[in-house]
A = this chain, B = another copy of it.
Amino acid sequence: MTNQTLILIQCRDAVGLVARIANTVANHRLNIVTMREYVDEAAGRFYVRVVCAGKAEQHDRLISELDAALPEGATIVVNPPQQKRLAVLVTKEYHCLGDIIVRYFFKTLGAELCCVVGNHEDLRAFTERFDIPFHYVSHAGMSTEAFESEIARVLAPYKPDYLVLAKFMRILSPAFVSQYPGRIINIHHSFLPAFVGANPYKQAHARGVKLIGATAHFVTNDLDEGPIIAQDIKPVNHTFTVKDMVRAGKEVEKSVLSKALSLVIEDRVIISGNRTVVFE
């Protein structure tokens, strides 16, 4: 992306928006390489992601010209930070964290992994092998409020752009979530909205399902109810025990979270109410 300009816009829909945007961009001598837009006709909202060849020389002037050209209240982002900072929250399961750290080590994550916070110590040794800071914040004997303040305190110096809940098994309070609006990503161990809540694999086994799935979503105040970013499934059959389902499920969780992170890191996801617009 070094010699490109990325523009993300959402606003009220109106006639001629693409023309106004394209004109403004062309006036800056930027050539549109890909433009993906979407109009949610029911909601009357317009979304666009524009990649231009060439680096915008007058970044601020481009934004103010776009703002003048668009309906009031438009959200305009030009060249969001390339190196986003991620903090990963974990409990005991390694599969998602392992995948993230290996990508990070080999410089294909596309983001900065600034720290790992665990409410158990299980993943410290692995994390520290890669010289990534690991912070243990136990929830034992603490109120939710105290536990979450401690997490916030630990995270603060890293200034993370996104929190990634990589099998973090505590539910975060609305108070905590509201500090990171649209910036917390969770991997849910189920094909939402089936099997919401605890023990989804036990539920899935009892129900005799033939597929199991996983869902990566932004976290909002409602448990397991935020905007979905990515989902996938794997086939299972009657011979799968609950344990086999967990194992198969972990593979899906890992790949779905990985896909969701790529989409977010590459600025391909726009949150639209309780849904996402994903420009893959």
Q: Which residues of B contact A223 (CB under 8 A)?
A: none
**Within the complex, which residue of B19, B23, B41, B193 is in contact with A207, where a contact is CB–CB below 8 Å?**
B193
Q: Quick one: CB contact mask for A1-26 with B, threshold 8 Å, 1 for yes?
A: 00000000000011111111111011
Q: What residue of chain B has the Cβ atom nearest to residue A238's Cβ?
A: B277
Query: B15–A19 contact, CB under 8 A?
Result: no
Shortest Cβ distance from A165 into chain B, in angstroms?
18
- The one of B18, B237, B278 in contact with A22, judged by C-beta atoms closer than 8 angstroms, is B18
Q: Mark A225-266, 1 if CB is under 8 A from B, else 0.
A: 001111111000111000000000001000100100000000
Decide yes or no whether A159 CB sits under 8 A from chain B. Answer: no
Q: For residue A126, which residue of chain B has the nearest CB?
A: B105
Chain B residue at minimum C-beta to C-beta distance from A274: B208
B37 touches A15 (CB 8 A): no
Binding site for B on A (CB under 8 A): 13-23, 25-26, 29, 31-39, 41, 94-95, 98-99, 102, 105-106, 126, 129-130, 191-195, 206-211, 213, 227-233, 237-239, 251, 255, 258, 272, 274-278, 280
Knowing that A19-B26, A209-B231, A210-B230 are A-B contacts, what are 19 other residue pairs whose CB atoms are under 8 Å apart, sorted by A's residue number? A13-B31, A18-B22, A21-B22, A22-B22, A33-B39, A34-B37, A35-B35, A99-B102, A102-B126, A105-B126, A191-B191, A191-B194, A193-B194, A210-B231, A210-B278, A233-B233, A238-B277, A238-B278, A251-B255
